[in-house]
Amino acid sequence: MYEISNFLLSIYEEAQQSKTVDFVNFAMDGVKKMLGFNSGAIASLGIAANGELQVKGGFAYNCSGEEKIKARRELGITERYVPGRGLLGWDPILEKGFRYRNRAHAIDCNTLIEPRVAEYTRKTSVSHALLIASNSFADGGFRTLSLWRERSQEEYIAEDVSLASFILPHVFMAQTINTKLLEKYTPDCDKSYPEPIICAMNGFMNFINEDAYNFLKKKFPNWMPPFLPKVIFDGLRDNSLRRFDGAEFFVKAILVDRVILVYIFERFISNKLTKTEIMVAEFLAQDATYKDIASQLGTSPATVRNQAASIYKKLNITKKSEIRAALLFGAH
């Protein structure tokens, strides 16, 4: 019991002082010492309007989350929420976890009857699985924490399930605290930013709030989470400002250690500035000189000066220091 108490205290302390990836690795390292597993993952799941279960993001531990999601899709493993009946699909442990929240459940994958799920466990080298699902969020979504063992003789026993039911809900709670404290890594000048999407360096989303998720789904109907829409990720990666400009919105990224914080803004000035003027305004908001901007855009300082004058007039502002607020909140 002393070891468990120390673990719980440590993850809450770590949640308040570590970056997201570091916190998840720390928490999973601690869980591994007590429960033992070869790989694991924390997934953020949502329920679409048609009831389909969607993976919105997550963290993989000692495995590739992308490969596991790809394998499920290739095998056609899906789940759907039906009011009054619960989660229906191919995966029995996920169905049970959804029905009985905040309680761990284990399964011997060698006894699976459904061929697709059995094939999935073979492809991903899983012999025994343990899963717990969190309580629903306001939007109906929830998180799962899964632990996987490779050897067929190393099954999860009743004591493992009982221990997991006690400690894993605390991992969910500590993770929530860690996510909410992310704003302390955001520069002071950006405190007006909304809650960020948290991404790995390859665009794989670890966290996305419901508003941002619905916004992107509306703008990109064929988008396949948990990766950022490719056009946005490519734009952020290839742009020196780490910015993507859409007709009705723009996206800004900040690199924090091994995590990308991605912020989405609906555009308030799209009907006032041209695309080039928006780019110039963004440079000006970062206190760049006309010469620097001209070099970035392949034009002349005189041209940039004229564009700046046009920006000031259209936004009804008089100085460079007012540009940032106009970009974020629109001009009056």
Strands 243-245 and 86-89: unpaired
Question: Which is nearest to 61 in space by CA: 127, 142, 147, 150?
Answer: 147
pLDDT band at residue 332 under the 50/70/90 scheme: very low
User: Per the confidence metrics, is the pTM higher than 0.75?
Assistant: no
pLDDT value, residue 318: 83
- N- to C-terminal Cα distance for the chain? 61
Q: How far apart are CA 104 and CA 326, in angstroms?
A: 50
pLDDT for 29 beyond 50 = yes
pLDDT for 184 beyond 90 = no
pLDDT band at residue 183 under the 50/70/90 scheme: low
Give every CB contact of residue 156 below 8 A, 6+ residues apart in sequence: 106, 128, 130, 149
pLDDT value, residue 138: 56
Q: Computed over its alpha carbons, how large is the radius of gyration of the chain? A: 23
pLDDT band at residue 190 under the 50/70/90 scheme: very low
pLDDT for 252 beyond 70 = yes
pLDDT value, residue 296: 85
Give every CB contact of residue 246 below 8 A, 6+ residues apart in sequence: 219, 267
Eight-state DSSP code of residue 52? B
Task: Give whichever of 159-168, 189-198, 300-309 has the largest mean pLDDT.
Answer: 159-168
Written as six digits, the tokens of 68 are: 């596991």
Q: How far apart are CA 227 and CA 55, in angstroms?
A: 10
Dmax (CA) for the chain in angstroms is 75
Class of domain 275-329: mainly alpha
pLDDT value, residue 15: 92
pLDDT value, residue 189: 45
Q: Are 178 and 18 in contact (CB under 8 A)?
A: yes
Q: How far apart are CA 133 and CA 172, in angstroms?
A: 9
Q: Which secondary-structure segment (H or E) carries 98?
A: helix 92-99
pLDDT value, residue 261: 85
Tokens 């221990």, residue located: 163
pLDDT value, residue 139: 62
Strand order in the sheet with 249-256: 205-207, 197-199, 259-266, 249-256, 243-245
pLDDT value, residue 247: 64
pLDDT for 191 beyond 50 = no
pLDDT band at residue 277 under the 50/70/90 scheme: confident
SS (H, E, C) 253-312: EEEECCEEEEEEEECCCCCCCCHHHHHHHHHHHCCCCHHHHHHHHCCCHHHHHHHHHHHH
Give every CB contact of residue 46 below 8 A, 6+ residues apart in sequence: 53, 54, 56, 139, 140, 141, 210, 213
pLDDT value, residue 283: 83
185 phi and psi, to 5 degrees?
Answer: -90, -5
SS (H, E, C) 165-191: HHHHHHHHHHHHHHHHHHHHHCCHHHC
pLDDT digits (tens, 9 = 90+) for 72-111: 989 999 999 988 888 998 899 999 999 999 999 999 999 9
Instruction: Determine the residue type at 319.
Output: K
Mean pLDDT (whole number) for 35-62: 91
**Across 30-44, 120-134, 224-238, least confident range:** 224-238
pLDDT for 185 beyond 70 = no
SS (H, E, C) 128-142: EEEEEECCCCCCCCE
Residue % of the chain over a pLDDT of 90? 47
Fold of 2-181: Beta-Lactamase (3.30.450)
Q: Where are the domains of the chain?
A: 2-181, 186-266, 275-329
pLDDT value, residue 102: 94
Question: Which is nearest to 145 in space by CA: 260, 17, 30, 7?
Answer: 30
pLDDT digits (tens, 9 = 90+) for 193-243: 567 888 888 899 988 888 888 889 888 988 989 999 999 999 888 777 788
